[in-house]
Amino acid sequence: MKVEYHPAVERELDVVRNYYEDRLPGLGREFIDEFERQILRIAATPERWMVLSGNFRRCLMKRFPYVIYFRPVSSDRIRVTVVKHQRRHPQYGRDRQ
Helix (H) or strand (E) holding 81: strand 77-85
pLDDT score for 96: 84
Q: Where do the domains of the chain lie, and which CATH numbers do they carry?
A: 2-85 (3.30.2310.20)
pLDDT in tens, 39-65: 999 999 999 999 988 889 999 999 999
Specify which residues 57 forms β-bridges with. Answer: 51, 70
In this prediction, residue 89 carries a pLDDT of: 87
